[in-house]
Amino acid sequence: MCGIVGYVGDRSCTDVLLDALEKLEYRGYDSAGIAVIEQGVIKVEKCKGRLANLRDKMAFDGKPEGHVGIGHTRWATHGEPSDINSHPHGNKRVTVVHNGIIENYRQIKEFLISEGYSFVSETDTETVAKLLDYYYTGDPVDTIIKSLAEIKGSYALGVMFRDFPDRIFAVRKDSPLIVGKGDHENFIASDVPAIMKYTRDYYLLDTNEIAVIKKDDVTFYNIHREQLYKSVHTADWDVDAAEKGGYEHFMLKEINEQPNAVKTTITPRISDSMPDFTAEGFDAAKLGAYNKIFIVACGTAMHAGMVGKYVIERLARIPVIVDIASEFRYRDPLIDERDLMIVISQSGETADTKAALELAKSRGADTMAVVNVKGSSIAREADMVVYTHAGPEISVASTKAYMVQISVMYLLAFELAYGVGRISKEQCQKLTEELQEIPDVIQEAIGLENHCQYVASKLVNADSLLYIGRGLDYALSMEGSLKLKEISYIHSESYAAGELKHGTISLITENMPVIAVATQSDLVDKTISNIKEVKARGAMVILVCGKEVVVEDGVADHIIRLPEVDQMLMPMVAAVPLQLIAYYTAVLKGNDVDKPRNLAKSVTVE
C-alpha cells in the first residue's frame, strides 16, 4: 500500500528511484512521483497513473539530475488519483513521501491554515509536509520529532530538507520501511525487492525511529533523540527472485514456484518424519495445552486459515475459530490467556491483522504469526513466529504465499494432533511423509495448465460465477472465487454446496457457470447431487475432482482430474487449477494480471 524509496549516493538518483519504484509498483499504482535535489533545489516530478506515465512525462520535461532523492508510488486513500494528489508533497524547503494514513490531518490542516499555510491537494500527506515546515528549526531531526508529536495515525515517511542536500530522512510508525546499506550509497524502501539490485544488506526501522541517511553513513535515533545502534540484516534470496524470469507475469511465475516454496517451507520443520518446531520455540505439548485456537487473517491468508481450521479440528479435535481480522478486532472476541491466536500474513504488515494480534495479546492469549516477510511488524510482535519461505511475492494476487501458508497449517495440525494424543507417532509420521510428497504433486497439477486455459476460454464472457464445495472443498472454493474476481473482474461467489438451495440457487441460469470442487470422498456424492441441481437449471459446470471419482455422463461440462493424493491434502493440489483458471481468464480479458485495478499488495490501512 504505497511504495516509498529514497537514495543517496553517486549514481543518477532519478534512475535509481525509478528502477526501485518499478519493483514496488505492486504496492500501489494510482500515481508516481520523485523529488531530487538538483543544484541545491528540490525538483519534483509527479503525475497520475503508472510509473510509465512518469517516465514519459520526464522524457518530455527532462529528468532531474542529482544524487539525493525520494520517490513514491501511490494507492490513493485521501483524494482521488490525480497529478496534484500525487506524492511528493511539500514546498521549496521540505518535501515528503508517505505511506499510511494521518488520522488527525483535518485538525492539523485547519491549524496550519490559521497560521497562514495554503494547501493544493486533498491528501493527508501535504499536512505532514507543511507541519514539518512549520516546526522547522534548522535541525531536521528535532523538527521531525516535534512534528511527530502532533501526528496520529500510521506512517512511513521519506523526507528531504533543501538545507541538507546531502541526506534524506526516514521515520515510521506501523507502516513498513527499511534502510538499505550499500557501498558508498544508501537507500530507503518500503520493501527489500526495491533495492535488491544494489544491495542485499538492510536495517529494519522500528516504530518511532528516525534514520538520517547519507552517502557514507546512516544514523538512527529514537523520538527522544537518543542515538540507536542497529544490526544489519541480509536478504537470503537473490535478485532473480524478484524478477519475472521469462514468465509473462509474476503470477504465473509464482504459481510455478509453488513446489519449491512448499519444499523450502516444510523441510526445515520436519525431522525423523515428524513435525519439528523446536527452532520456533514450541512443541506438541505446548500447542496441545490450549483451550481453543483462533486463526485470524485477511483475504487469501484467511482462506488458508479456513483450511487450517478443517484440518486441525478433524485431526486434533481442538475448536478453531477463523475470523476476518477486520471483524475480529471490533467484536469483543471471547479470547483469553488459555487460548492461542494464530495470525497468517504474507506481508506481515496488514493493519487489521496486526491490530487483531495486539488485541489477542492484550487479552493474555499466546500469539503465533505465520508470516512470509522477515522482520515484518507482525513477525516482530508475535510471541512465536513460523516463517513461510515463499520468497518475495510480487503479484498482487497471492498464490505461492497461500500454498505455503496451507503447508504450515498442515504441519501445525499434525503436531497438535500428536500433542493431544489424537494420532499416534506412526500416523503422524505417515501424514508428514505424505506432505513431503506434495511438492511433486503440485508440480503435476501445474501440468493441467492447458486444460485450465481451455476452461478459462469458456468463462471469459461470463458476468458472474459460483464456486461450490463442501468441507475442505468449500474452504478452497473461497480462494478460487477470490482469485478469479480480483484479477478477471468477473463477479463470483463461493458457496457451501449444500446451502445453495436455501436461496442462492435462484441465481442459476445458463448464464451462471458453476465451478464445483469435489475432492473429499465422504462428500463427493453429496456435492455431485448439488451439481445435478444446478445443471438441471442450465448452468455450465466445471468440476474439479480426484482421478478416481465416478461422474455420470452429462453431470459436468468439463472435468479437471487432479493427481491422486491423500484427500486431506487435496486443497494444496486443487488450488493449482483454480489459480490457473483465474490467471488465464484474466489474461484472455487483457487485464493487468499482476496489478489488478483498485488493489495493492500489503494493506497497511484499516
Nearer Cβ to ligand F6R (88/596) = 596
From residue 60, give the alpha-carbon distance in Å to each of 45, 73, 512: 11, 20, 48
H-only helix segments in 51-158: 51-61, 105-114, 125-134, 140-148
Tell me how far, at minimum, the Cβ of 492 lies from ligand F6R, in Å.
13
Look at the block and give the residue holding cell 518530455.
60
Nearer Cβ to ligand F6R (175/345) = 345
Q: Which residues does residue 44 pair with via DSSP β-bridges, in sequence order?
A: 35
Tell me how far, at minimum, the Cβ of 391 lies from ligand F6R, in Å.
14
Tell me how far, at minimum, the Cβ of 255 lies from ligand F6R, in Å.
12
The 464-483 contact track toward ligand F6R, x by CB under 6 A, reads ------------------x-
Stretch that binds ligand F6R, among 235-243, 345-353, 464-472, 510-518 (CB under 6 A): 345-353
Strand, coil or helix: 518: strand
Q: Is 601 in the active site?
A: yes
326 binds ligand F6R (CB under 6 A): no
484 binds ligand F6R (CB under 6 A): no
**# residues near ligand F6R by CB under 6 A:** 15
Stretch that binds ligand F6R, among 7-15, 95-103, 157-165, 343-351 (CB under 6 A): 343-351
Phi, psi (rounded to 5 degrees) for 594: -80, -20
Strand, coil or helix: 580: helix
Tell me how far, at minimum, the Cβ of 572 lies from ligand F6R, in Å.
17
Q: How far apart are CA 272 and CA 36, in angstroms?
A: 56
Name every residue whose Cβ is closer than 8 Å to that of residue 1 and which is 6 or more positions away in sequence: 27, 28, 75, 99, 100, 175, 600, 601, 602, 603, 604, 605
Q: What is the 3-state secondary structure (H, E, C) of 296-351?
A: EECHHHHHHHHHHHHHHHHHHCCCEEEEEHHHHCCCCCCCCCCCEEEEEECCCCCH
Nearer Cβ to ligand F6R (143/395) = 395
Strand, coil or helix: 116: coil
Largest Cα separation within the chain, whole Å, is: 80
- List the interface residues with ligand F6R, window 576-605 (CB under 6 A): 602-603
Tell me how far, at minimum, the Cβ of 93 lies from ligand F6R, in Å.
36
Nearer Cβ to ligand F6R (265/398) = 398
Name which of 355, 352, 381, 360 is nearest 369 in CA terms: 381
Report which DSSP code applies to 124.
S
Tell me how far, at minimum, the Cβ of 307 lies from ligand F6R, in Å.
13
Q: Which of 48, 63, 109, 601 is catalytic?
A: 601
Q: How far apart are CA 330 and CA 168, in angstroms?
A: 38
Nearer Cβ to ligand F6R (221/410) = 410
397 binds ligand F6R (CB under 6 A): yes
* Residues 210 and 218 sit within 8 Å (Cβ to Cβ): no
Nearer Cβ to ligand F6R (298/341) = 298
- List the interface residues with ligand F6R, window 288-317 (CB under 6 A): 298-301
125 binds ligand F6R (CB under 6 A): no
* Sign, Cα dihedral of 338, 309, 424, 575: negative
Tell me how far, at minimum, the Cβ of 480 lies from ligand F6R, in Å.
11
Nearer Cβ to ligand F6R (45/594) = 594
Q: How far apart are CA 27 and CA 560, in angstroms?
A: 34
Q: Is 130 in the active site?
A: no
346 binds ligand F6R (CB under 6 A): yes
Number of Cβ atoms within 10 Å of the Cβ of 80? 11
* Binding test (CB under 6 A) with ligand F6R, winner from 123, 345, 429, 519: 345
Nearer Cβ to ligand F6R (126/479) = 479
347 binds ligand F6R (CB under 6 A): yes
Nearer Cβ to ligand F6R (4/284) = 4
Tell me how far, at minimum, the Cβ of 225 lies from ligand F6R, in Å.
33
Q: Which of 2, 298, 428, 545 is catalytic?
A: 2
394 binds ligand F6R (CB under 6 A): no
Report which DSSP code applies to 448.
T
Tell me how far, at minimum, the Cβ of 242 lies from ligand F6R, in Å.
16
Name every residue whose Cβ is closer than 8 Å to that of residue 102 and which is 6 or more positions away in sequence: 108, 124, 125, 127, 128, 151, 152, 153, 155
From residue 472, give the alpha-carbon distance in Å to each of 196, 309, 476: 38, 9, 6
* Binding test (CB under 6 A) with ligand F6R, winner from 30, 126, 486, 594: 486
Name which of 93, 83, 79 is nearest 61 in CA terms: 83
* Residues 326 and 606 sit within 8 Å (Cβ to Cβ): yes
* Binding test (CB under 6 A) with ligand F6R, winner from 85, 86, 350, 567: 350
The 544-583 contact track toward ligand F6R, x by CB under 6 A, reads ----------------------------------------
Q: How far apart are CA 2 and CA 87, in angstroms?
A: 10
Tell me how far, at minimum, the Cβ of 210 lies from ligand F6R, in Å.
26
Active site (catalytic) residues: 2, 601
Q: Which residues bind ligand F6R (CB under 6 A)?
A: 298-301, 345-347, 350, 353, 397-398, 482, 486, 602-603
